[in-house]
Copies of this chain bind each other. A is one copy, B any other.
Amino acid sequence: MALSVGELGVEDSRADILRAAAACFLERGYAVTSIDDVARALGATKGRIYHHFPSKADLFAEVFRTGIDMIYAAIAPCRDMPGPAVERWKKMATIHVRLMIDTKSFQRAVWEGVEMHLRGSTTPQQRDVFGKLLEDRTKYGNIFRETIAEAQREGAMRFANLSIANQLMFMTLNSPIFWYTPRDGETSEDIDRIVEQVVAYALGGLGATEGTV
């Protein structure tokens, strides 16, 4: 598989399809997006997509998996960070929100995938494929959940119910996938400001004790 200069390999072609699919799913939603839409966005036809992915559902599943893998990998370094749980949480939350913005289309697909699974609008076979993927997603969620539980035990956070607090926290941290849109001339530092505000809001919501902030 020798490649000339400027040519693209198979994986690049797959990656292009995944990016285009994620963008389409973001713009229209999974159900409304047709395979032809994705192909058109690529300047190609269905043949190319079905050559790499067996079905629309599998294509979506791959976008989903990609989104989860990215975010999972991003916070991995923080997991055994020393120091108080709040500090670890702040680091994780910051990375999480930043990634929600930077990989918005994929993360939006993850959200829709979770919704689809909860609503059970998947075929039986797709259902356990998604089940596997959601296991990772759940594991990821539990990392945060345990962290805020630990922070509460350390007296750095205060909330009544862990499950509800966890839900609200994730809603906050994920929310940029709904309302963030890039401005022209926006720098990476501008985005950092946004991330800071989201994290600060979540921190306040979780009842962070004054002084730990």
Contact = CB atoms under 8 A, between A and B. Distances in A.
Interface of A: 27-29, 31-32, 115, 119, 121, 159-161, 164-165, 167-168, 171-172, 175, 178-179, 193-194, 196-198, 200-202, 204-208, 210
A165 B205 CA distance: 12
B175 A119 contact: no
A130 to B, nearest CB: 15
Contacts of A193: 160
| Interface core residue of A28, A168, A207 (most chain B CB under 10 Å) | A168
Contacts of A167: 175, 179
Contact of A168 (B165, B201, B210): B201
B198 A29 contact: no
Contacts of A115: 29, 178
Given A29-B31, A167-B175, A171-B172, A205 B201 contact: yes
Given A204-B207, A205-B201, A210-B210, A178 B172 contact: no
Q: Copy number of this protein in the oligomer?
A: 2
Contact of A204 (B164, B175, B205): B205
A162 to B, nearest CB: 11
Contact of A205 (B28, B119, B178, B205): B205
Contacts of A27: 119
A134 to B, nearest CB: 15
| Interface core residue of A179, A197, A204 (most chain B CB under 10 Å) | A204
| Interface core residue of A27, A201, A204 (most chain B CB under 10 Å) | A201
A171 B178 contact: yes
A198 B166 CA distance: 11
Contacts of A31: 29, 31-32
Given A31-B32, A119-B28, A210-B210, A164 B197 contact: yes
A156 to B, nearest CB: 13
Nearest to A202: B205
Nearest to A163: B179
Given A167-B175, A168-B175, A197 B32 contact: no
